[in-house]
Amino acid sequence: MSYELLNLFGTAVAETAAAGTGDAAAAAAEGAAVSGPSAFIYYAVQLAPMILIFVVFYFILIRPQRKKDKEAKAMLANLKVGDNICTIGGIHAKITGIKDDTLYIEVGRQKAELVIARWAVRNVEELSVTNDSENLI
């Protein structure tokens, strides 16, 4: 039934346009309905900008973030005793022990021992932190 209603509506629009201004309007009204092989091209052109936007977002936002997450996960998995680290709170420390997802670290000159979660490590320091030729870690 909906197909019949759509067909009646389409022919009514074409007849109204043909009666209103002549043969040019009738040709334009018939050309407004896209059908056949050109319909695929018409809809492909309509979807192309949205697909292009998605591809650009993927290469600019999604892919670099996945790469960064993968590197962070690898860094956390490769932590070992003796590594100098910096936590997300800005504490520079040395790992003294590892148990599952818990790290035991020592901080400062008094070598105070703290217990932190593995996810709280921001990065592994390549060089030790020094102040006036004193090794603080």
Q: Residue 125 sits in a domain of what CATH number?
A: 2.30.30
State whether 124 and 88 are in the same domain.
yes
State whether 115 and 85 are in the same domain.
yes
Sequence-separated (6 or more) residues with CB below 8 Å from residue 68: none
Which tops the pLDDT comparison, 45 or 33? Answer: 45
| Backbone φ and ψ of 108, nearest 5° | 75, -175
| Confidence at 9, pLDDT banded by 50, 70, 90 | very low
State whether 44 and 72 are in the same domain.
yes
State whether 44 and 85 are in the same domain.
no
Q: Is the pLDDT of residue 18 over 80?
A: no
Mean pLDDT of the chain: 80
Inter-residue contact 122 to 84 (CB < 8 Å): no
Nearest to 94 by CA among 79, 103, 105, 104: 105
Q: How crowded is the C-beta side of 103, counted as CA atoms within 13 Å?
A: 25
**Structure confidence at residue 27 (pLDDT):** 47
Structure tokens at 113: 């021992």
**Structure confidence at residue 6 (pLDDT):** 45
Residue 3's domain comprises 1-33
% of residues, the chain, pLDDT over 90? 59
State whether 17 and 40 are in the same domain.
no
Question: For residue range 54-70, what is the model confidence (pLDDT) as tens digits?
Answer: 999 999 999 999 999 99
As a whole number of angstroms, the distance between CA 27 and CA 36 comes to: 17
Inter-residue contact 93 to 121 (CB < 8 Å): no
State whether 70 and 102 are in the same domain.
no
As a whole number of angstroms, the distance between CA 99 and CA 116 comes to: 11
State whether 73 and 84 are in the same domain.
no
